């Protein structure tokens, strides 16, 4: 059961984004999970209320979008749906495939209550400001 | 992942990142890995290993698959040629570190309490106690668990997953996330194979290939010294390949 640790890490990222946007309240968090990520959606949803308590994301809603498993064949180039433990090409049966969807463990989107002071940097509702703030988080 | 800025926005998911605004709310597209903080610390650990020319190998398996016994035999075979250290992850006890130290190499035990995996931060703390500048090879023996350790990058160069023949030969199909991470799979305790009628090594390999894995699978027995040479040669080759990837100054 490592979902609580994953959930705490998720909330740390969410809190960082809220801080960069000068928002005091997170309304909704959208996450995308694939079966090959090793994180169970049901367990993550159960851990969320425990991990969100006392954070800027307290009372926020967690929305989990489950990603389907898809592979691309390195032999014949076909793309097909697959099972997590049977990543074979549906067209030619080859096991030499790469996963194109299904191993994601991504924080997709954060919806925030807008900061009262709209003149501050990154809080003026400009979507680009949000994009840069989120990118900036990757470079720390 | 994007090579330029490290984000996860691709042509396939770009529409998820942007969302029309509603009154009084701001929407921030992120597409960060949930474990971004762990990933950053893992990258930091990897930079430390690279700066010192140390090959870091992460060993994962179910409890009792023979990780410590494999390490004991491996250390005896390689310690004349390489400077080795081990980081041991267990919920409780210093037992495994004591076993490793008896073979004359430094070992640092991490006791995780109830945590079911090592993470990059725990590893970083343990690295402070090891003389990286005096090492060629670091083994990380992860907590015995085929689920949780698969999700946490530690900064290792390679992942090795052990499957003992006293387990089921369909383990790769049951634990696809773990076996997909493997750069090498070791089939351990193969000296027992003649006594077991329900473990088929061919089936185990087929289950592994069905995960689209091209990782080599070596049958070994550390206790009876069966086929250990293939595993030891693999380590020697990896030490060379990691060093070749480094700037020359770091290896000197």
Interchain proximity B34–A106, CB inside 8 Å: yes
Question: Can you say whether residue A110 is alpha, beta or left, with left for phi > 0 and alpha for psi between -120 and 50 degrees?
Answer: beta
Nearest C-alpha in A relative to B208: A85
Q: Which residue segments constitute the domains of chain B, with CATH numbers given?
A: 1-32 (no CATH), 38-251 (3.40.50.300)
Predicted confidence at residue B4, as pLDDT, reads: 45
CB contacts < 8 Å between A and B, how many?
162
Rounded to the nearest angstrom, the gap between the alpha carbon of residue B236 and the centroid of all alpha carbons in its chain is: 17
- What pLDDT was estimated at residue B16? 56
Q: Does the pLDDT at position A136 exceed 70?
A: no
For residue B79, give how far its alpha carbon lies from the nearest alpha carbon of chain A (Å): 35
Judge whether residue A131 has pLDDT over 90. Answer: no
B10 touches chain A (CB under 8 A): no
Tokens of B92: 């409780």
Mean pLDDT of the region B44-69 = 97
Q: Does A139 touch chain B (CB under 8 A)?
A: yes
Report pLDDT for A95: 97
Residue A54: Cβ within 10 Å count: 8
Tens-digit pLDDT profile for residues B63-122: 999 999 999 999 999 999 999 999 999 999 999 999 999 999 999 999 998 889 999 999
Tens digits of residue pLDDT in B133-145: 999 999 999 999 9
pLDDT of residue B151: 92
Tell me if chain B has a CB within 8 Å of the CB of A118. no
State residue B114's pLDDT score: 82
**Surface of B (148-187) touching A: CB under 8 A:** 148, 150-152, 172-174, 176-178, 180
Average pLDDT, chain B: 91
In the CATH hierarchy, which fold is given to the domain comprising A3-67+103-138? hypothetical protein PF0899 fold (3.30.2320)
Q: What stretch(es) of chain A map to CATH 3.30.2320.50? A: 3-67+103-138
Phi first, then psi: give them for residue B137, nearest 5 degrees. -145, 125
This prediction has a pTM of 0.85
Is B74 exposed, middle or buried (CB count within 10 Å of its CB: 0-12, 13-18, 19+)?
A: buried
For residue B32, the model assigns a pLDDT of: 83
């Amino acid at each position: 059961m490592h979902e609580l640790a994953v959930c705490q890490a998720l909330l740390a990222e969410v809190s960082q984004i809220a801080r960069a946007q000068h928002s005091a309240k997170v309304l909704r968090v959208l996450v995308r999970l694939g079966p090959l990520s090793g994180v169970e959606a049901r367990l993550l949803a159960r851990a969320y209320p425990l991990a969100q308590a006392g954070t800027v994301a307290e009372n926020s809603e967690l929305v989990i979008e489950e990603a389907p498993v898809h592979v691309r064949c390195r032999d014949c180039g076909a793309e097909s749906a697959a099972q997590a433990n049977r990543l074979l090409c549906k067209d030619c049966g080859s096991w030499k495939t790469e996963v194109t969807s299904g191993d994601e463990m991504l924080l997709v989107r954060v919806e925030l209550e807008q900061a009262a002071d709209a003149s501050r940097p990154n809080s003026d509702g400009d979507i680009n400001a949000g994009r840069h703030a989120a990118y900036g988080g990757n470079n720390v | 992942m994007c090579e330029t800025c490290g984000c996860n926005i691709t042509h396939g998911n770009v529409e998820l990142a942007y969302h029309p605004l509603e009154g009084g709310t701001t929407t921030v597209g992120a597409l960060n890995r949930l474990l971004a903080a762990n990933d950053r610390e893992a990258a930091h650990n990897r930079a430390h290993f690279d700066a010192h020319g140390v090959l870091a190998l992460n060993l994962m398996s179910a409890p009792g698959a023979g990780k410590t016994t494999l390490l004991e035999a491996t250390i005896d075979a390689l310690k004349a040629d390489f400077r080795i250290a081990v980081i041991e992850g267990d919920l409780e006890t210093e037992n495994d570190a004591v076993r490793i130290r008896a073979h004359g190499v430094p070992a640092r035990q991490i006791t995780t309490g109830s945590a079911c995996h090592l993470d990059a931060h725990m590893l970083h703390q343990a690295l402070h106690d090891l003389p990286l500048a005096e090492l060629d090879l670091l083994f990380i023996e992860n907590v015995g668990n085929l689920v949780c350790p698969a999700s946490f990058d530690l900064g290792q160069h390679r992942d090795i997953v052990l499957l003992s023949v006293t387990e089921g030969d369909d383990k790769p199909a049951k634990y696809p996330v773990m076996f997909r991470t493997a750069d090498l799979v070791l089939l351990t305790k193969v000296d027992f194979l003649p006594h077991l009628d329900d473990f088929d090594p061919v089936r185990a390999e087929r289950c592994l290939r069905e995960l689209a894995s091209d990782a080599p699978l070596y049958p070994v027995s550390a206790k009876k010294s069966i086929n250990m040479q293939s595993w030891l040669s693999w380590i020697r080759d990896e030490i060379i390949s990691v060093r070749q990837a480094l700037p020359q100054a770091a290896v000197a």
